[in-house]
């Protein structure tokens, strides 16, 4: 047999063996999940067994699939009830502006939770008593993870904006019970429907689910063929387009503001339909923009970083919630932004002031810049990807609880207020079953010009700190400048989350990459094997192989060679 034919045959046998093993694992797990057990037994491995036992029916036996469907249905009923409670408080009137703002955030987030639970429930009701395979399993786990994030955001906003008032107190118990219920639903889902090798806890070794190839992108400046096609044929050369408009404040385009163009986009486009393209020529657009949940698969293309600029100045000090301080906010699935700058000019003294917030599943940003100080980029929830972007900030300037990968991006720490330290990341994972976390791969950590030129007072810069109990951040194959403190990471408050977080570094370089003096926290790791690091790549962390190719944006699926 020829050598090439032998290798091909051997590879086929290997693939068939892996498929057989995967099917065997799925069958064994399916049999386990299909075995009738008591409610008490079903609750044993959830995040809160005692609370779980108050949720499930108290007598008889059922399998994990039945219990999982029951808990999701109960969560949906609870979400509707909670939204009704929020609406009643808003209808009372006489509330402070801060209270109204916090409740309006809760109203929006509760509505999203109803959508997510409805979608998750529909999938589970048609799945039968069998495990789900990716991307379907990841889709449902992503939705159930986001529901917890939305509830936590609501709670955080009420805590800050409504301290000491009756509405916060009236919502406290329903808020806690909702969070516990949603956590139980996520626990039962992962036990019943998710294959063991696909569990959300990527802190344990497992082989990558997908290959480590490179994505071919429409906007890849190194791909001469695609650049020529872009120039000659436009966006339609490589991605499907259902419509295209241009924004021009002078009136020469289709719309004079970005907000008007977004409003004109078709509602609820499907992923296979194509993108609605909004072109934003060079200029400064002073407006706060929201891409709502029904404006799906919108693609916004500017003329470049520093050329097409969307800018605002909302901040917490001026009465906005952190969530709603964003200059640009995205909820619509499949949003893509290319060659844009998103800016918040509130300044460091105004504390939390977001340039961009994304709670849009499968959202992508390529060659964009995000500029602010504290809380610059709010990667709020669901799955996101950033490639070739610049992010400027001071305190917690990349924060949130999405499953997100930053690839080939620049993290520029700016000059903060005197007495402040810089923290690049503040990841907000609150539940061990959430498939969320922040990966920074092939990125550069450096000082912005104002910090580099500063000699008036010393500024300590850290890679991140744990905003929530199960905070998860991985920095790998990146260039870390000397501005990063040798300890690497900063505590949030005493020993909070130091044993439950998962922070890791892998194969970084530069004067700030030495890990010999890093923190000695139980949750901090220096990864040595490629299998561990591969868990946090585009192909695994956000299952990018399934959805990024259609965006036209270049990406590396696995580890960078």
Closest by Cα among 518, 428, 417 to 469 = 428
Confidence class of residue 96 from pLDDT cuts 50, 70 and 90? Answer: confident
Residue 253 φ then ψ, to 5°: -100, -160
Q: Is the pLDDT of residue 164 over 60?
A: no
- Provide the residue ranges of all domains of the chain, joining segments of one domain with +: 39-193, 250-551
* Pairwise CA distance, residues 474 & 536, whole Å: 7
Task: Please tell me the pTM assigned to this model.
Answer: 0.90
* Pairwise CA distance, residues 476 & 521, whole Å: 19
* Residue 440 DSSP label: E
Confidence class of residue 95 from pLDDT cuts 50, 70 and 90? Answer: confident
Q: Which two tokens stand for residue 120?
A: 């998750």
What percent of the chain has pLDDT above 70?
85
For residue range 467-523, what is the model confidence (pLDDT) as tens digits?
999 999 999 999 999 999 999 999 999 999 999 999 999 999 999 999 999 999 999
Quick one: how far is CA 181 from the chain centroid?
22
For residue range 254-264, what is the model confidence (pLDDT) as tens digits?
999 999 999 99
Report the chain's C-alpha Rg in angstroms: 24
Q: Is the pLDDT of residue 314 over 50?
A: yes
Q: CA angle 63-64-65, nearest 5°?
A: 90
Q: Is the pLDDT of residue 21 over 50?
A: no
Q: String of b and e for 481-517 (b: at least 16 CB within 10 Å)?
A: bebbbebbbbbbeeebbbebbbbbbbbbeeebbeeee
For residue range 283-310, what is the model confidence (pLDDT) as tens digits?
999 999 999 999 999 999 999 999 999 9
Which pLDDT does position 10 carry in this prediction?
36
Distances in whole angstroms, Cα of residue 457 to Cα of each of 393, 413, 417, 486 = 17, 15, 10, 19
Mean pLDDT of 310-325: 96
Average pLDDT, the chain: 88
For residue range 201-235, what is the model confidence (pLDDT) as tens digits?
444 433 333 333 444 455 554 544 544 454 445 55
Domain 250-551 fold:
Pectate Lyase C-like (2.160.20)
* Pairwise CA distance, residues 465 & 479, whole Å: 19
Sequence-ordered list of residues with C-beta below 8 angstroms from that of 254, at least 6 positions apart, any chain: 245, 246, 247, 248, 261, 264
Taking the chain, what is the end-to-end CA distance rounded to the nearest angstrom?
Answer: 33
Distances in whole angstroms, Cα of residue 142 to Cα of each of 149, 425, 434, 550 = 10, 21, 7, 20
303-312, 335-344, 455-464, 516-525: the lowest-pLDDT one: 455-464
Closest by Cα among 518, 396, 391 to 444 = 391
Class of domain 39-193: mainly alpha
For residue range 39-82, what is the model confidence (pLDDT) as tens digits?
999 999 899 999 999 999 988 899 999 999 999 999 999 999 99
Q: How many residues does the chain have?
A: 561
Which pLDDT does position 63 carry in this prediction?
95
What percent of the chain has pLDDT above 90?
77
For residue range 169-188, what is the model confidence (pLDDT) as tens digits?
788 899 999 999 999 999 99
Q: Which residues are catalytic?
A: 396
Which pLDDT does position 13 carry in this prediction?
39
């Amino acid at each position: 047999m020829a050598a090439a034919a032998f290798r091909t045959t051997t590879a086929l046998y290997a693939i068939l063996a892996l498929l057989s093993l995967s099917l065997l694992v799925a069958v064994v797990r399916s049999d386990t999940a299909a075995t009738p057990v008591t409610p008490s037994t079903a609750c044993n491995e959830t995040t809160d067994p005692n609370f779980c036992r108050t949720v499930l029916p108290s007598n008889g036996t059922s399998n994990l699939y039945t219990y999982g469907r029951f808990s999701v249905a109960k969560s949906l009923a609870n979400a509707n009830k909670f939204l009704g409670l929020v609406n009643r408080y808003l209808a009372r009137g006489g509330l402070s502006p801060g209270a109204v703002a916090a409740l309006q955030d809760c109203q929006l987030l509760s509505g999203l939770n109803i959508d997510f639970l409805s979608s998750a429930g529909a999938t589970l009701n048609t799945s039968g008593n069998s495990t789900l395979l990716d991307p379907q399993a990841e889709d449902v786990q992503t939705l159930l993870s986001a529901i917890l994030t939305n509830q936590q955001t609501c709670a955080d906003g009420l805590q800050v904006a409504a301290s000491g008032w009756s509405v916060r107190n009236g919502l406290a118990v329903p808020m806690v019970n909702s969070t516990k219920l949603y956590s139980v639903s996520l626990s039962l889902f992962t036990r019943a429907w998710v294959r063991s090798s696909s569990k959300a806890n990527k802190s344990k070794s497992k082989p990558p689910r997908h290959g480590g190839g490179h994505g071919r992108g429409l906007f890849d400046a190194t791909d001469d063929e695609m650049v020529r096609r872009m120039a000659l044929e436009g966006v339609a050369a490589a991605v499907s387009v259902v419509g295209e408009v241009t924004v021009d404040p002078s009136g020469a385009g289709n719309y004079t503001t970005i907000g008007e163009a977004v409003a004109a986009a078709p509602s609820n486009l499907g992923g296979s339909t194509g993108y609605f393209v909004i072109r934003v020529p060079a200029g400064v657009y002073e407006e706060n923009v929201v891409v709502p949940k029904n404006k799906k698969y919108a693609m916004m293309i500017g003329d470049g970083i520093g050329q097409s600029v969307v800018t605002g100045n909302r901040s917490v000090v001026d009465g906005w919630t952190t969530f709603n301080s964003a200059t640009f906010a995205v909820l619509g699935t499949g949003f893509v932004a290319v060659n844009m700058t998103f800016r918040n000019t509130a300044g460091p003294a105004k504390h939390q002031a977001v340039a961009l917030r994304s709670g849009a599943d499968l959202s992508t940003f390529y060659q964009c810049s995000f500029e602010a100080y504290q809380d610059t980029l709010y990667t709020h929830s669901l799955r996101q990807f950033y490639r070739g972007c610049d992010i400027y900030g001071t305190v917690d300037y990349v924060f949130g609880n999405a499953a997100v990968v930053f690839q080939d991006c620049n993290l520029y720490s700016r000059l903060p207020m005197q007495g402040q330290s810089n923290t690049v990341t503040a990841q907000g994972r609150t539940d061990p079953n959430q498939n969320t976390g922040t990966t920074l791969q092939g990125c550069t950590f450096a000082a912005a010009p104002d910090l580099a030129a500063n000699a008036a007072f010393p500024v300590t810069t850290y890679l991140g700190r744990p905003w929530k109990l199960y905070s998860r951040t991985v920095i790998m194959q990146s260039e870390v400048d000397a501005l990063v403190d040798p300890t690497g990471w900063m505590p949030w408050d005493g020993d909070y989350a130091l044993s439950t977080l998962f922070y890791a570094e892998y194969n970084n370089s530069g004067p700030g990459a030495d890990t010999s003096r890093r923190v000695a926290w139980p949750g901090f790791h220096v990864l040595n094997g490629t299998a561990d690091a591969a868990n946090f790549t585009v192909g695994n962390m956000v299952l990018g192989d399934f959805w990024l190719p259609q965006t036209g944006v270049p990406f590396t699926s696995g580890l960078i060679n």
